[in-house]
Structure 1
């Protein structure tokens, strides 16, 4: 079984997934590299720059959670269970709130 890079190279593609394309209408070569690969790989390249620095220590955040279904409620009310009897207040790190 061939690995993904070997598979691309064996079929004439670039091993990093970037290839030049030719327009089917005009026959001219496009001026940009086109990425052929999984979307999650492409997104991870950009997400590294967009990371938000989060401290491990910081203010805690109080949140109401339904002890029956586990969903976060709003003002001591669970929308899923339509009840306020099974609500509990827990303290989570502020980073989890984001």
Structure 2
């Protein structure tokens, strides 16, 4: 199904791009080729194929979940302008 000139102009307007009339014919041909490739992909029977999470079946190596720093909350809150019950107090910004 070839893409017509007016369809290219509509798509260009929606995408907010400028397409010269000289480029429109070549662009229409290229878009028609791309849509043809998509139709070929959709025609493939994938009924018995299990979906993959990653094409290379890669496994992420995870680090051990260990605490690596000490608790310095009291030191940080000692220099804060306003703290109450372990929470930082900030000025109200929404009325």
Regarding TM over 0.5, the answer is: no
Which interval holds the TM-score relative to the shorter structure? under 0.3
Query: Which structure shows the bigger proportion of residues in strand conformation?
Result: 1
**TM-score, normalisation: structure 1:** 0.20
Query: Which structure shows the bigger proportion of residues in helix conformation?
Result: 2
**TM-score, normalisation: structure 2:** 0.21
